[in-house]
Amino acid sequence: MTKIILTRHGETLWNIEGRVQGMMDSPLTERGLHQARRLALRLKQEGIQYLYASDRPRALATAEEIKRELELKVPVLSAPQFRELSFGEWEGKIWAELRVNYADIFAVWDKSPYLVQIPGGERMEEVAERAWEFLRELMGKHEGETICVVTHGLTLKLVVTKALGYDISDWKRTPWQFNTALNILEFDGRNIVPEILGDCSHLEDLE
């Protein structure tokens, strides 16, 4: 049985400010670092053998905190395939302001975001394809082992949606992925069975 642990990076400065990150980046907050450590403590008994992360600094920093807390001897393996959706011209801008300036796009985004072409950015279908195909490669490469992947909110939700056999148009059927949300899937070579989806109970009472 192959175990796949999927999570999102910890809270960042731009998360607090309500800014679009995408391919751009901002540092983890102190709370974000604590979130990563709490997640690591929860994963102590999972026997992680390989640790992958998007090559964006916020994801790598989260993975490094997990590695440090668990005293893992393996390196954090950078995987650009797990980058967040590129938001093109929107990156670095405030979400609330974009809603006013691009009201026509958000009218579609709020109902069917998978149909939206963000100016200069990616479509959700592109992100789902690149991330899911690479995860399938990893499942084949690490058969019978336990891997952990640190990625981003939208990318993570899309991967979980694909893993459960849903089309991206059904992406609302899977839980939103908050900072350090935990997903654990088991793959027997044919079927993927979800053990935990979008769980953040490790963050309870975190100040």
Distance CA 2, CA 32 (A): 28
Active-site option among 11, 65, 84, 91: 84
* 9 in active site: yes
Q: Tell me if residue 125 falls in helix, strand or coil.
A: helix
* 133 in active site: no
Distance CA 98, CA 101 (A): 5
Look up residue 106 and give its amino acid. F
Active-site option among 9, 11, 91, 122: 9
37: Cβ contacts below 8 Å, ≥ 6 apart: 65, 69
Judged on CB neighbours under 10 Å (0-12, 13-18, 19+), 5 is buried
Check if the beta carbon of residue 145 is closer than 8 Å to that of residue 50. yes
The residues annotated as belonging to the active site are 9, 84
